[in-house]
Amino acid sequence: MSAFWSAWVTVITLAVILGCTWLLLATRKSETHKEATDQTLGHEFDGIAEYDNPLPRWWFQMFMATVIFGLAYLALYPGLGSFQGLLGWSSTGQWEEEMAHAEEQYKPVFAKYAAMSVEELQQPGNEAGLKMGQRMFANNCSLCHGSTGSGAYGFPDLTDNDWLYGGDAATIKATIANGRNGGMPPWGAVLGEEGVRDVSSYVLSLSGQEVDADSAANGKAQFQALCTACHGADATGMLALGAPNLTDNVWLYGGSFEKVAHSIRNGRNGVMPAHNTLLNEDKIHLITGYVYSLSNK
C-alpha cells in the first residue's frame, strides 16, 4: 500500500470513530439536564411514539466501550493503513506459524511413508498413506484433473494408464515436483487449410476412425515430413517430449475431426505447474503414490 492510500485509510478510519464519539458526547451533554417526560418528538408509527428522553446510561456506556475497544484494536492489530499494530500480528504470520506447527506434529507420520517406495505404498496395510495422498491430491490437483483424477478437456486422465511423459513412479514424481511444459506448434500457415484437413484425416485414421481415404493418403506424406520428429515414425508418441500417442484413440483435447484439425492448425500449449515450491518432498511422495495407484489398480 502506498503512503498516500495508507494515510487516506488512517485519516478516514480515525475521523469516523472520533466523529461518532463527538456526536455521542455532544448529544449526551445536551440531554443531561432533561428529566424523563411524556413529551414526544411527534413521530408515531403503528401506535408507537418516540419520546423526548435522554439516552439510557447503559446504552451510552455500551457506545463508549465500543469506541474504546475499536481504538485499542487498531493500536494492537493492523487496520490503519500500513500500520502493522503494536503486536506485529499478520494473517500471513499466523498461517506460517500454524503450518510450522502442523509440519512438526505430522513429521513422524510423513517420515514413516517417506521411507517406503511408491510401489510399497500400494501394498495392503498402507491404505492410510494413500488416503493422505488422496486428500492432498484433492487440495492441490483436483481443480485440473478432477476429484477422481479422470481429467477434463486439456487435462490428462490419470486413471487410464496413458501417459505423455511416462507412468512409472519416478517420472510421475518428477512431473509433480518440477511441472511440465508441453507445446504443439501451429501448422496452419505451413500446411494451408487443405493440408490441415488432410493431415487431420490421416491422424484420425491411425486410431481406426473412418475418414476420407484420399484425404488421409495426402496427409500421410505431410505427416511424415513434419510430425514424425515428435510423434515418431509410427505415431506412437515420444515420452521425452511429451508428444502423445496418436494411435490409441486417447485425446487430450478431443478426438473429433474439427478438434484434431484445430490442434494441428493452431497448436496447443499445456502447462503443468511445479509443486516443489508448494509441497515438501514427503507430501509429493504421497501424492505420487496415490496417482500411481489410480492407473495400477
| CA 223/CA 226 separation, integer angstroms | 5
20 marked among binding-site residues: no
141 marked among binding-site residues: yes
**For residues 30-35, average pLDDT:** 54
What is the predicted pLDDT for the residue at 45? 78
Cell 503486536 locates to 87
C-alpha cell of 262? Answer: 484445430
What is the predicted pLDDT for the residue at 35? 57
Q: What are the pLDDT digits (tens) for 142-164? A: 999 999 999 999 999 999 989 99
272 marked among binding-site residues: yes
The Cα diameter of the chain in Å comes to: 104
For the structural domain made of 92-179+275-294, what CATH number should be given? Answer: 1.10.760.10
Residues whose CB falls within 8 Å of the CB of residue 144, separated by 6 or more in sequence, listed in order = 152, 155
Q: Where in the chain is the domain with CATH 1.10.760.10?
A: 92-179+275-294, 182-272
pTM for the structure as a whole: 0.74
C-alpha cell of 38? Answer: 411524556
- What are φ and ψ of residue 246, in 5° steps? -95, 5
The CATH architecture of the domain made up of 182-272 is Orthogonal Bundle (1.10)
| CA 161/CA 123 separation, integer angstroms | 19
C-alpha cell of 43? Answer: 413521530
Lowest model confidence (mean pLDDT) among 48-57, 182-191, 217-226, 230-239: 48-57
End-to-end CA distance of the chain: 52
- Residue 52 contacts residue 39 (beta carbons within 8 Å): yes
**In terms of Cα–Cα distance, which of 171, 154, 116, 132 is closest to 295?**
171
What is the predicted pLDDT for the residue at 57? 84
**For residues 84-101, average pLDDT:** 92
C-alpha cell of 82? Answer: 500500513
